[in-house]
């Protein structure tokens, strides 16, 4: 079965500093026409970093849209033309007191493909050291939180971690580490 929808036209509804919202007219597989509201996003990278003591490096920050402080993997949007691996390294150093020598890509996935084209790149940090000078963006207020495997399992079970990228990264860690 052909599932492809073909864009016929696109009307910008909103253009922000890094996202745009469009109302697209599409042709459906059955030949009918419909509309789609789409948020266009430059993409983002997140990083799973684990200390020598076996603790996952997370950040707690206020998320206005969720009206809550969330526990998340360090992450941030890609700058124009930026390699996602470079973004992951940068975000770890900006948001936490840790740096990584390198990162290895674990996965890439869409965060909300029903209405947004944001692609998230998940990396595993390697060779991390507590040597960052932490310089969050001016509008970013973050607190570093270190959790053991047991504490991560308990936080997930208690619904204290609700961020999708973080759940993906932490489940990888729980399933693939000793």
The catalytic site residues sit at 140
Contact 123, 106 (CB under 8 A): yes
**Residue 40 token pair:** 């266009």
Contact 129, 102 (CB under 8 A): no
Q: What is the largest CA-CA distance in the chain?
A: 58
Query: DSSP string spanning 54-94?
Result: S-EEEEEEEEGGGTEEEEE--EEEPPTT--HHHHHHHHHHH
What distances in angstroms separate CA 9 from CA 6, 12, 31, 34, one per listed residue?
A: 9, 10, 15, 11
């Amino acid at each position: 079965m052909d599932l492809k929808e073909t864009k016929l036209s696109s009307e910008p509804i909103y253009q922000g500093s890094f996202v745009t919202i469009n109302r697209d007219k599409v042709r459906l597989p059955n030949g009918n026409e419909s509309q789609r509201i789409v948020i266009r996003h430059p993409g983002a990278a997140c990083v799973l970093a684990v200390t020598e003591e076996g603790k996952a490096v997370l950040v707690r920050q206020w998320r206005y849209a969720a009206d809550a402080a969330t526990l998340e993997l360090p992450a941030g949007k890609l700058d124009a033309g930026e390699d996602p691996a470079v973004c992951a390294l940068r975000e770890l150093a900006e948001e936490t007191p840790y740096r990584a020598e390198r990162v290895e890509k674990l996965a890439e996935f869409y965060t909300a493909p029903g209405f947004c084209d944001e692609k998230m790149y998940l990396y595993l940090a390697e060779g991390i050291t507590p040597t960052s000078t932490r310089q969050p963006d001016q509008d970013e207020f973050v607190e570093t939180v270190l959790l053991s495997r047991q504490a991560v399992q308990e936080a997930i079970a208690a619904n204290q971690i609700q961020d999708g990228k973080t759940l993906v990264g932490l489940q990888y860690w729980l399933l693939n580490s000793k």
